[in-house]
């Protein structure tokens, strides 16, 4: 299918748009200090058509063109505001600063662009273009590198980080002027001064800085084996002790050596037993108990069963007690054909129940799709799933916004599933506008063939027993998502969770779904023990008078709870 307009006519190098057509946009307002916009050089974008559907290609071109027209119009209206984003399409990859592509394999890319040239460009996904146009600034590339093998080269071409910060703070002051606006933007860069306010000695993990990978990661992995064993055996208290120990070690700022051992006494939750395990690890690089567990056949079976969606420790033990030992035996027991889940989708119209039949159905889907579901999801695909879901949602309700939460938001390069928290951008009316959307969206995604299974769907549930105000604010669907056969992404089944929140509780929902689990647990504990408040994904309230809080930003969530803002990438308080 041809583009709506031929790509070449938009190239800057053949001069189809005059330089005076370039300035200003209203979307993102920069400082009021005048700049010579005539002299500004645009970023040249080459969109590689291979693997992009013609409609999507056409949409991308139109997005850039519409943006440019809007920018020009604002400039001519003399508003004196200058957009960060000055893009120009080019038909010549060699001249481009940025190559936008749906290709993810280096070899495949090099069929279209010479490797020598590719190395000198930023190679990004179409999401970068869309998200940059939405935010009105050239976003940093780190979440958008299209080709893993060329990530380093791509990041080297990243836009100036300083510019980013200034533009986001000026956006903030701009949006504060507008009564009805609030932040639904992506994460700001991490602020070193904020991290310094946290302490690795704090009792609550929401006061400690917990990076994705810590200096003592191999020790953490070793203790995590013991933790998992306790979890599988249903020994919850013991499991929690190990979880706490892990979360403390995650925040410890340097590699633990013999010399550091006495320091550990200053840390919370490291009792005698843990202390001697750490000592053993420092000496030998191993913890004997963990190694014994790993070699244990019961642990191996229960671990394998526990990887199946729908099977928790309790079910795993029950299956083991029936004499089952391997996943193949489980497949026979449940009469499942691997890879071919024709298991009918759980009714879209009815709320999920926890009946035995419903649980069994979920296990059957989880087992049949286990090979696909065991593959982790790279960041560019997570972003594309979000974008696709939001595009489908826009056909049902305009003006919705989303944040990808979960491990993705904490910086994980690969996720086990995708957690998308959705709201409506209208602070006043959004609550009504998102009501009932979850079911409609899932139905639409199912009709489009994008959602193949629904594991669970539920309507509004309440923040607490106090039936004050419209607190019925979260709807969620736990689904299985798959790309269409003609997509540039492989057809691998992916788990996607869709969570709908009213604007008043959007940021509490995002915080609640960003994790990690121990961070969440300590947020709730902190709120209860130190602040006399109740925190969960569906809201924050004060216990003594049930006062409800409606934070407009994520920072507000932390502020209301009396906490320093912890950047999402510092909330990795689990192994
Ligand atoms: P992964 O998906 O790569 O494994 O990593 P993850 O994103 O950290 O794990 P997750 O299992 O997807 O959980 C993401 C966060 O959502 C966790 O912090 C967890 O506490 C939270 N979460 C659920 N399920 C539910 C739920 O039903 N309600 C609420 N409020 N939060 C939940 O996982
Ligand atoms: Mn997740």
- 106 — pLDDT class (breaks 50, 70, 90): confident
9 falls within a domain: no
Mean pLDDT of the chain: 84
Task: Look up the CATH number of the domain holding residue 531.
Answer: 3.30.460.10
For 539-564, how does the pLDDT look when each residue is reduced to its tens digit (9 = 90+)?
999 999 999 999 999 999 999 999 99
Instruction: State whether 48 and 116 are in the same domain.
Output: yes
Ligand 2 centroid to Cα of residue 104, in Å, is 22
pLDDT of residue 35: 45
Judge whether 123 and 147 are in contact, CB under 8 Å.
yes
Task: Look up the CATH number of the domain holding residue 37.
Answer: 3.40.50.10190
Instruction: Say whether pLDDT at 150 is over 50.
Output: yes
Torsion of CA 16, 128, 59, 439, to 10 degrees: -160
Ligand 2 centroid to Cα of residue 415, in Å, is 6
- 462 — pLDDT class (breaks 50, 70, 90): low
E strands along 238-388, which residues?
377-378
Atom of ligand 1 minimally distant from the CA of 509: 30
pLDDT (average), residues 52-68 = 83
Judge whether 70 and 136 are in contact, CB under 8 Å.
no
Instruction: State whether 423 and 518 are in the same domain.
Output: yes
Ligand 1 atom 13: residue of nearest CA: 406
Instruction: State whether 71 and 122 are in the same domain.
Output: yes
264 falls within a domain: yes
Task: Provide the sign of the torsion angle of the four alpha carbons 239, 244, 247, 248, taken in this order.
Answer: negative
Least confident of 104-108, 255-259, 298-302, 444-448: 104-108
Task: Look up the CATH number of the domain holding residue 222.
Answer: 1.10.150.110
pLDDT of residue 186: 67
Torsion of CA 81, 85, 86, 90, to 10 degrees: -160
Q: Structure tokens of 451?
A: 């959602």
- 136 — pLDDT class (breaks 50, 70, 90): confident
The DSSP secondary structure of 469-530, one letter per residue, reads SS-EEEEEEEEEE---TTSSS----EEEEEEEE-HHHHHHHHHHHH--HHHHHHHHHHHHHH
10 falls within a domain: no
pLDDT of residue 12: 32
- 159 — pLDDT class (breaks 50, 70, 90): low
pLDDT of residue 185: 67
Report the distance separating Cα 88 and Cα 25, nearest Å: 14
Least confident of 32-36, 78-82, 185-189, 356-360: 32-36
Instruction: State whether 391 and 487 are in the same domain.
Output: yes
Q: Structure tokens of 357?
A: 């039949």
- The structural domain count of the chain equals 4
Ligand 1 centroid to Cα of residue 513, in Å, is 5
- 48 — pLDDT class (breaks 50, 70, 90): very high
- 139 — pLDDT class (breaks 50, 70, 90): confident
Instruction: State whether 274 and 335 are in the same domain.
Output: no
Q: Which residue has the higher pLDDT, 107 or 219?
A: 219
For 301-344, how does the pLDDT look when each residue is reduced to its tens digit (9 = 90+)?
999 999 999 999 999 999 999 999 999 999 999 999 887 666 55
- 141 — pLDDT class (breaks 50, 70, 90): confident
- 86 — pLDDT class (breaks 50, 70, 90): confident
15 falls within a domain: no
Instruction: State whether 381 and 461 are in the same domain.
Output: yes
Instruction: State whether 39 and 95 are in the same domain.
Output: yes
Helix H or strand E segment including 288 = helix 288-295
194 falls within a domain: no
pLDDT of residue 327: 98
pLDDT of residue 187: 78
180 falls within a domain: no
Ligand 1 atom 32: residue of nearest CA: 513
195 falls within a domain: no
Residue that terminates a domain, selected from 326, 354, 371: 371
543 falls within a domain: yes
pLDDT of residue 143: 72
Instruction: State whether 394 and 291 are in the same domain.
Output: no
Instruction: State whether 421 and 366 are in the same domain.
Output: no
Residue that terminates a domain, selected from 371, 388, 421: 371
Residue that terminates a domain, selected from 130, 151, 171: 171
Ligand 1 centroid to Cα of residue 387, in Å, is 20
The residue length of the chain stands at 575
Instruction: Say whether pLDDT at 393 is over 60.
Output: yes
Q: Which domain holds residue 453?
A: 375-570
Report the distance separating Cα 544 and Cα 542, nearest Å: 6
Helix H or strand E segment including 100 = strand 98-100
Task: Look up the CATH number of the domain holding residue 330.
Answer: 1.10.150.20
pLDDT of residue 180: 58
User: Which are the contacts of 35, defined by CB distance < 8 A and separation ≥ 6?
Assistant: 82
Burial class (CB in 10 A: 0-12, 13-18, 19+), 440: middle
Least confident of 111-120, 302-311, 426-435, 515-524: 111-120
Instruction: State whether 313 and 279 are in the same domain.
Output: no
Ligand 1 centroid to Cα of residue 19, in Å, is 49
Instruction: State whether 120 and 223 are in the same domain.
Output: no
Instruction: State whether 267 and 327 are in the same domain.
Output: no
Q: Which of the ligands is closest to the CA of residue 418?
A: 2
Backbone phi, psi, residue 501, to 5°: -135, 145
For 499-542, how does the pLDDT look when each residue is reduced to its tens digit (9 = 90+)?
999 999 999 999 999 999 999 999 999 999 999 999 999 999 99
pLDDT of residue 358: 85
**Which residues form the pocket of ligand 1, taking CB atoms under 6 Å from any ligand atom?**
406-407, 412, 415-417, 419, 512-513, 515-517, 520, 537
Q: Which residue has the higher pLDDT, 292 or 133?
A: 292
- 573 — pLDDT class (breaks 50, 70, 90): very high
- 177 — pLDDT class (breaks 50, 70, 90): very low
């Amino acid at each position: 299918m041809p583009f709506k307009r031929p790509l070449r006519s938009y190239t800057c190098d053949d001069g189809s748009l005059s330089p005076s057509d370039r300035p200003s946009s209203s979307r993102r307002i920069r400082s009021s200090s005048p700049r010579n916009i005539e002299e500004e050089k645009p970023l040249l974008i080459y969109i590689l058509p291979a693997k992009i559907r013609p409609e999507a290609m056409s949409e991308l071109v139109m997005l850039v063109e519409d943006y440019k027209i809007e920018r020009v119009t604002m400039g001519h209206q003399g508003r004196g505001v200058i957009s960060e984003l000055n893009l120009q399409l080019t038909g010549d990859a060699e001249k481009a600063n940025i190559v936008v592509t749906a290709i993810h394999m280096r070899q495949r890319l090099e069929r279209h662009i010479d490797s020598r040239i590719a190395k000198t460009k930023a190679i990004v996904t179409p999401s970068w273009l869309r998200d940059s146009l939405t935010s009105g600034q050239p976003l940093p590339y780190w979440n958008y590198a299209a080709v893993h093998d060329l990530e380093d080269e791509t990041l080297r071409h990243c836009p100036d980080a300083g510019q980013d910060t200034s533009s986001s703070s000026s956006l903030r002051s701009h949006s504060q002027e507008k009564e009805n606006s609030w932040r639904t933007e992506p994460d700001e860069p991490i602020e070193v001064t904020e991290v310094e306010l946290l302490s690795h000695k704090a009792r609550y993990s929401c006061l400690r800085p917990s990076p994705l990978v810590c200096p003592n990661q191999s020790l953490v992995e070793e203790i995590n084996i013991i933790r998992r064993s306790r979890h599988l055996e249903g020994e919850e208290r013991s499991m929690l002790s190990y979880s706490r120990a892990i979360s403390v070690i995650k925040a410890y700022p340097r590699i633990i050596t013999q010399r550091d051992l006495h320091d550990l006494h200053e840390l919370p939750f490291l009792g005698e037993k843990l202390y001697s395990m750490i000592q053993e690890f420092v000496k030998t690089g191993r913890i004997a108990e963990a190694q014994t567990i790993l070699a244990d056949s019961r642990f191996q079976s229960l671990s394998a069963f526990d990887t199946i969606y729908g099977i928790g420790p309790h079910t795993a033990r029950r299956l083991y007690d029936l004499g089952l030992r391997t996943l193949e035996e489980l497949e026979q027991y449940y009469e499942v054909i691997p890879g071919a889940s024709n298991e009918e989708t759980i009714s879209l119209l009815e709320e999920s129940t926890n009946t035995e039949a419903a649980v069994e159905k979920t296990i059957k889907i989880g087992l049949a799709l286990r090979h696909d579901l065991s593959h982790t999801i790279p960041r560019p695909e997570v972003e594309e799933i979000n974008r696709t879901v939001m595009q489908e949602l826009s056909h049902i309700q305009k003006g919705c916004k989303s944040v990808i939460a979960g491990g993705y938001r904490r910086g994980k390069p690969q996720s086990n599933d995708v957690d998308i928290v959705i709201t409506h951008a209208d602070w006043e009316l959004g609550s009504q506008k998102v009501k009932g959307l979850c079911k409609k969206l899932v139905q639409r995604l199912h009709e489009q063939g994008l959602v193949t299974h629904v594991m669970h769907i539920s309507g509004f549930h309440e923040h607490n027993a106090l039936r004050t105000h419209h607190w019925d604010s979260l709807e969620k669907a736990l689904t299985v998502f798959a790309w269409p056969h003609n997509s540039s992404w492989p057809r691998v089944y992916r788990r996607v969770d869709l969570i709908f929140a009213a604007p008043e509780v959007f940021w509490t929902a995002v915080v609640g779904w960003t994790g990690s689990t121990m961070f969440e647990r300590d947020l709730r504990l902190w709120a209860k023990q130190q602040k006399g408040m109740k925190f969960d994904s569906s809201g924050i309230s004060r216990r003594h008078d049930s006062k409800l809080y409606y934070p407009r930003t994520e920072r507000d969530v932390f502020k209301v709870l009396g906490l320093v803002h912890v950047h999402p990438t510092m909330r990795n308080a689990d192994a």
